Amino acid sequence: MTSSVLYTGGLRTTCTHLKSGNSVETDAPVDNHGKGERFSPTDLMATSLATCMITVMGIKAQGMGFDLDGVTIDVLKIMKQEPRRVGGINLHFHIPANLLELEEKTIRILKNTGETCPVIKSIHPDIEVKIDWGGWNQTGS
C-alpha cells in the first residue's frame, strides 16, 4: 500500500503516506461546495506534475554534479466544465541566477528529463500542459 485516505467530513480528507506517516489534508474548492482552505484533489494533481518534474530533474542534476536548489515552479490549474475536469496545467519555472549559466546542452538534458517524468506521461492527452521555463526559455528543447 502507498497511502490511506480518511474522509473526515465537510468535504475534507486526510491522506497519510504509509511508509513515513506524513499526511496532507484536502478540501473541496470554493467553486465546488468546499471552503478552499486546503489543496483540492485537482490541485494535488496539477501540483504533482510540478513536483515530479523537479524531482526527476534534481536526480539528473545530482548525477551531473550539481543541484537545483532554489528552483520554484508556479502552478496554474485550469478547470473545464461538463464534465468537470482539469483541462489544463500551466507551469512557470523560476530559475536562480547561478543556474542560468549552465551550458545549453545541460539545460536541454534537464528540460527533457522534466518533460518525460512519470506524471506527465500519466496525464490524459486532453489536458493541455504548458511549460514556461523562465530564464531557460531560449534554450532548445
Backbone φ and ψ of 21, nearest 5°: 85, -5
Q: Is the full-model pTM beyond 0.85?
A: yes
17, 2 in Cβ contact below 8 A? yes
Report residue 102 as a C-alpha cell.
Answer: 549552465
- C-alpha–C-alpha distance, residues 74 and 91, integer Å: 6
- Give pLDDT tens digits along the chain (141 positions): 999 999 999 999 999 999 999 999 999 999 999 999 999 999 999 999 999 999 999 999 999 999 999 999 999 999 999 999 999 999 999 999 999 999 999 999 999 999 999 999 999 999 999 999 999 987 655
Residue 137 has a pLDDT of: 87
Q: Give the H/E segment covering residue 90.
A: strand 85-94
Fold of 41-141: GMP Synthetase; Chain A, domain 3 (3.30.300)
Residue 139 has a pLDDT of: 60
Query: What residue segments make up the domains of the chain, in order of their start?
Result: 1-39, 41-141
